[in-house]
Amino acid sequence: MAKKPIINEQLITKTLEENFMPYAMSIIISRAIPEIDGFKPSHRKLLYTMYKKGLISGARTKSANVVGETMKLNPHGDAAIYETMVRLTEGNESLLLPLVDSKGSFGKHYSRDMAYAAARYTEVKLSPVCAEVFKDIDKNTVDFVDNYDGTMKEPRLLPTSFPNILVNPNQGIAAGMASNICSFNLREICGAATELIKNPDADIIPIMPAPDLPTGGEIIYNEEAMREIYRTGRGSFKIRSKYKYDKKQNCIEIYEIPYSTTIEAIIEKIAELIKANKIKEISDVRDETDKNGLKLTIDLKRGTDPDKLMARLFNQTPLCDSFACNFNVLIEGSPMVLGVSDILFEWIRFRRSCIKRAIKYDIEKKSDKLHLLEGLEKILLDIDRAIKIIRETEQEDMVIPNLMDGFKIDKVQAEFVAEIKLRNLNREHILKRTAEIESLNAELKQLRETLESKKKIDGVIVKQLKSVAAKYGSERKTTLISEDSIADAPAETFVDNYQIKLIRTAENYLKKISLVSLRSSGEQKLKEDDEIVQVIETSNTAEVLLFTSGGEVYKMKAHDIPDCKASQLGEYMPSMLDTRDSIVGMVTTFDYSGFVLFCFQNGKIAKVELKSYQTKLNRKKLVNAYSTASPVSKILFLAQDADLVAFSSIDKALVFSSASIALKTTRNSGGVNVMTPKKKSIMVDVKPASESGIADLKYYRTKNIPAVGCFIREEDKHSTQLKMEI
């Protein structure tokens, strides 16, 4: 009997729908994306555990105690819980408004290698601002749900009395989506929320012009780009480090860096630039961060301009970085990417709900108290009668019914009266208690009026926002600098400008050797049977165009080519350019002036302006750089028209002027006939007349082209074979 296959076929769409989608939604809703209170579930469970432990006041406790208690709500393990706590602490400096008051080593957000101490060594309690995070939570302001095993209740949201969602930075990666919310200054965000409550169409940019990040730095401010982030919740802004120059020590001290990078990443990139010989002004770079704060020191060589060096480092290292915004927030279980104003509107709506629920709770409690006091007031009319009813009642369970009948009060009131201590059954005590009735009625009236008035509820929110801003607000950490105030210097100013020689060989090797190094070098090292085919003297800031046998051109900066010595083979160009084609020509330029001659074996020459290869965008590769109808024998750059000598495979030469060849408007033109083939001959080379070695040019010159040319005289053959000078 044949066995049934273990694997059952199933449509992939069904698998995704039944298996993957529930998992993806679980990650989005229960783990990665923050909700309108500004917390993910892991944050909320930790903070609520600390609140229930009474850590909002009093002394700190060991972090291990909190982690252990939190596991009753969060089953993901102690390491994950402690890592969540670390980020919320004052010591880690991850948050603009830390929620956990800490003692001990909690690492630093801006350092990848600075580890936090174990939970048994550190101590924590809630920061004072958490009084606003848990404001009125015991007044039924938010819903409570069962924990994972159904033994406890935990809040679904925390009733934050300020827009914590935008005050503390939050990141999360889910399945198919992510969230990256930057932080804003508490005072500014409270002011913006207040303004939107008063006028929903208000422009909040003047109130809160830009984010404010925990690590400080300078935002390169572009108002139009910032408005787009505020409107859509997507976009990015650049933030760069702050530094000062110590003239006495000749060093740069960096004391604030972008929130999105670390000290180690900056040091590694600077070291990489030094190793690649792209920066020569730095003698040492080290991390001097201590208990006083971040400090990255860069020692300079004598004569270095610190501001110019920092401009280069901002351009080439994470000392200037981008913060990519993605304001993805869970709104009633649905992920939404919202702008800043929309998030504030959602928070205001959430906060209105919290306040309404708190008012309803107060109304209910005060109404219950009033009801009891009204019953007590009736007893006041005849206290002796109440005592007599209780004394003359034979059965205990009849005391309540007899009081109800005797004073026309309900069961709740009768039980309250029956529970009064004997010492309190005096007129003075009862008068004091019943005097509250009038104030309770006034309070209830005011509460009901507030509950029914949206304007009054908004007034409560505004009052709380002003109180929070006054208590916990601080000045901006991140300053703003205008985008226009930063000089957009070209990349060439960041490169050491020195004279070089570029040497290209027949086997596709390229050497870049400085003239200083070349003077002290010996013979050029080449592979066996290889030879030098082209040498160009230029500057390290030049642009290099490398033409391939496949009709393409690769563009690169000379300073991107590693320096080489005569004793080295150099760079293998096909590997450097990631191409399988060989290199057939090289041109260098600074301004794309002049033109290029493409000399083909079939005797044709195409004359193309070099500007044809200039692009507005920094493109690295252009296709259809020249015609591939016939193999190219020589690619020659000329700054201006000159006399040239063409050589054929049958030892003939032809002198002509490049001025007689018309410029072509298309790069891949087939060219014009110059040297007429004879007996299946091909044009093998073209040289400037000054480099041809021919003494009598008139002998080889013809009135018109195309022409076959003249056989090379014996006295000219030796001269045309002179070795290339290095």
Q: Where are the beta strands (DSSP E) in 590-642?
A: 595-600, 604-609, 621-622, 632-638
8 Å CB contact between 72 and 50? no
Q: Which of 82, 116, 121, 472 is catalytic?
A: 121
Q: What gap in Å lies between CA 448 and CA 469, rounded to an integer?
A: 28
Are 327 and 179 spatial neighbours (Cβ–Cβ below 8 Å)?
Answer: yes
> Under DSSP, is residue 686 helix (H, G, I), strand (E, B) or coil?
strand
Distance of alpha carbon 545 from alpha carbon 667, whole angstroms: 14
Q: Please, which residues bridge with residue 74 across strands? A: none
At 171, which helix (H) or strand (E)?
A: strand 170-173
Q: How far apart are CA 637 and CA 592, in angstroms?
A: 11
Q: What is the number of H-type helices and E-type strands within the chain? A: 21, 34
The per-residue DSSP string of 524-582 comes to PP--TT--EEEEEEEETT-EEEEEETTS-EEEEEGGGSPP--TTS--EEHHHHHT-SSP
Nearest Cα residue to 78 out of 63, 68, 88: 68
Strand partners, 337: 328
CB-CB contact of 182 with 73 (8 Å)? no
The closest of 375, 373, 380 to 441, measured between CA atoms, is 373
| 554 catalytic per annotation | no
Residue 267 in tokens: 């040091």
Q: Please state, in angstroms and rounded to a whole number, the distance separating the CA atoms of residues 510 and 501.
A: 10
Total Cβ atoms within 10 A of residue 68: 14
**Among all chains, which residue has been given the structure tokens 């108002």?**
223
Report the C-alpha gap between 167 and 604 in whole angstroms: 70
Paired with 538 in beta bridges are 500
Residues annotated catalytic, as ranges: 121
